[in-house]
Every structure is written in C-alpha cells, then in structure tokens.
Amino acid sequence: MDHLIKGISKGNFAVFGRAGMDMFADPPGTKAELAENFRADLGGSSANICVGLCKLGMQSALITSVSDDNVGRFCTNKLQHYGVDAQYVTVLGGEFRVSLAVYESTMDDFQLCIYRNNAVDFQVSNDDVDRVDYTPFGALITAGTVFAAEPSRGSTFRAFENARKAGLPIIFDIDYRPYSWPSPQVAADVLSRAGDESDLIVGNDEEFGFMAGSIDKGLDKARELAAQGKMVIYKMGQEGAITLYDGQEIRTGIYPVTAIKPNGAGDSFMAGLLASIATGHDLRTAVERGSACASIVVSNPGCAGAMPSTKQLNSFLATHSGPTKT
C-alpha cells in the first residue's frame, strides 16, 4: 500500500482552513434579498470537509482561528456538535472576524455574498501549526483559500513541512477564490507551489487551467502533476471527473439530481472520496461515492448540515440512478 493510500486509510485527518457562519434564506426557494427568515449553520470549506468526514465515520481536527465573539463561539460550538476536534482552534481578539456567507436555496439566479474583510482565519501563525501533534493523523488536508494572505500562507507551508516530518501525505483542494487574492499572478504562483508539494490534488477544470495559464491547458497541467507520482482528480462539473493515478486515467460520471444550490459540492466530494478510500473502496468507486455526496449536498439546504452520513449515502446510492456514463 503506498504512502498516500496508507495515510488516508488511517481515517484521521488534520484539516487547515476556515470555519465560518452560513446564513441561508428559509424556506428553500426564497431569494435572500426578499427573505424574512434565515437559518444559520457552520460553513467554510475546511470546516465543511471536517464535518463531512465525521458524518462518514472518520475523525478530523480543524486548525484555524476564530474571533473572540459570539460568532466565533457559534462556529466552535457547531464544530463540536458535528464531532470535529476543535482543540487547535485559536481564539483571537481585536478586529479580526469570522467569515459570513449569505445565500439562498434556489438555482434561479443563485446569489452568494461572502463577507471576508479582516478574515480571522488568515491569522493562523507558525506557533499555531507548530503546537499541533501530527502523530495521531494519517494525512493533512488544506483548502487553497489559506494561501491567499499572510500569515496563514506561510504557516500552512510550514505545516506541510511538519506533516512531511511526521510522515503524513498532503491533500490539497485548490479551491481558488479570486476575491481573496491580491492578484491572479500571485495566486497562480502560490497555488502551483502548493500543488508541487502535495500528494493528492483535487480541483476543477477552471482551477487547473488557471494554474496552467490557460483554461485549455488544464488537463495537461493535471497530467503533468500526475506524472510526478501524485494522485490528481480533475473535476468537470456535469461531465464528471478524471482521476489520474499510477499511470491510469479513470473517467467517472455524476449522479443527476435537482440542485437547489451549487455550493458545498466540492467539500462533500472531498469528504466522500477520502472516507471511501479509508473504508477500502477501490479508487473508481471512491470517486463515484464522492460524487454522490456532492449531489446530496447540492439538493439540500445548507452545507455542513447537508453533509450525508454513511447511512444516508448508502440509501442515496440504492435509490438513485447513476453515475452517468462518460
């Protein structure tokens, strides 16, 4: 069993990135600008991955910072509610704030408004990552948003070094959000470095194209990274995904559903993929189960709360056709 699969199979993940508060208009179908009621839950890509893993029987710990206020405590309480280890969540005073995402559960001109001014998760320091005990974990996971600003950019690369010293493979979700970065060139350079230092890279065709400098070169970039011995998952939306690993290119489809929102799909895919590998599924099946998790999340309100349990995932697979042929 190779280093990456062995690490994933341990089923315990150190996850770097943000926790945030999600507010989504209620009931589903209501536009946020017309809403009288909103539901609140945990959000943020890395926190969502943590929750998704825990719901699928894995263990996860989130390494991040939250603000010293009621919203920060809301996020920490929700992490604990979903079974996520929050011992490495640092509470910071001052003007830094937890991110807030306001959206709706309708694909009709879907709108997502994210408040990221003075984002507290960018304040993760070298001291924060150095105090993590890496020995219980099987792998490190990070979402690309941590690299958009300092000090979290440098501290996460330092966490990569710490993880490698502890023998952990590194899993990287590109998760490119242009609004967080000072410039596209900085983003391309930093994300490319993160990809070079990772063992498993997950992203969509646009993200790989961005790293390559042109959308039509995205698959070539994915193949280049796979040729270095990495596992690469190249997602193509409705067209499914291509998994490149050990000289193979595995094409898989999606599970068609009636989506009520687009967000949360990538986080759920990551959790489903890793949990399925950890529980002994072959790579094709693991990717397909990840795709099923993504379909479940986009067809339900919210993100963290919509992440499926193993029972819910198996029930979905038993009652839905798919995956689509590619």
Residue 88 and residue 94 in contact, taking contact as beta carbons nearer than 8 Å: no
Answer whether residue 322 shows pLDDT above 90: no
CB count within 10 Å of CB 216 equals 9
Backbone φ and ψ for 158, nearest 5 degrees, come out as -65, -40
**Mean pLDDT of the region 24-49:** 97
The pLDDT tens digits for 111-124 are 999 999 999 999 99
pLDDT for residue 237: 92
Q: Which domain does 235 fall in, by range?
A: 10-316
Residue 325: predicted pLDDT: 81
User: Are 250 and 243 spatial neighbours (Cβ–Cβ below 8 Å)?
Assistant: yes
Give 97's DSSP letter. Answer: B
Amino acid at position 238, single letter:
Q
Domain at 296, CATH number: 3.40.1190.20
pLDDT at 1: 47
- DSSP, residue by residue, 91-128: EE-TT-B-EEEEE-S--TT--EEEE-TTBGGGG--HHH
In a domain, 309, yes or no: yes
Report the pLDDT averaged over residues 35-52.
98
The pLDDT tens digits of the residues spanning 192-223 come to 999 999 999 999 999 999 999 888 999 999 99
- Sign, CA dihedral 297-300-301-306, equals negative
Written as six digits, the tokens of 81 are 């509610």
Is residue 2, in this structure, part of any structural domain at all?
A: no
pLDDT band of 312, cuts 50, 70, 90: very high
Whether 321 has a pLDDT exceeding 90, the answer reads no
In a domain, 292, yes or no: yes
Number of H helices, E strands in the chain: 11, 13
234 belongs to a structural domain: yes
CA distance 19 to 52: 13
Separation between Cα atoms, residue 82 and residue 77, nearest integer Å: 9
Compute and round to an integer the Cα radius of gyration of the chain: 18
What are the φ and ψ backbone dihedral angles of 110, each rounded to 5 degrees?
-55, 135
As a whole number of angstroms, the distance between CA 197 and CA 153 comes to 14
4 found inside a domain:
no
The share of the chain scoring above pLDDT 90, in percent, equals 96
Domain assignment present for 184: yes
Given a contact cutoff of 8 angstroms between Cβ atoms, the answer to whether 195 and 162 are in contact is no
The number of folded domains in the chain is 1
For 150-157, what is the mean pLDDT? 98
Query: Which of these ranges, 46-55, 260-269, 278-287, 317-326, has the smallest mean pLDDT?
Result: 317-326
pLDDT of residue 213: 86
| Residue 325 located in a structural domain | no
* Environment class of 83 (CB within 10 Å of its CB; exposed 0-12, middle 13-18, buried 19+): middle
Residue 272 lies in a domain: yes
- Token pair 């770097």 is found at 16
SS3 172: strand
Amino acid type, 220: D
266 pLDDT more than 50: yes
Q: What is the mean pLDDT of the chain?
A: 96
| Confidence (pLDDT) at 135 | 96
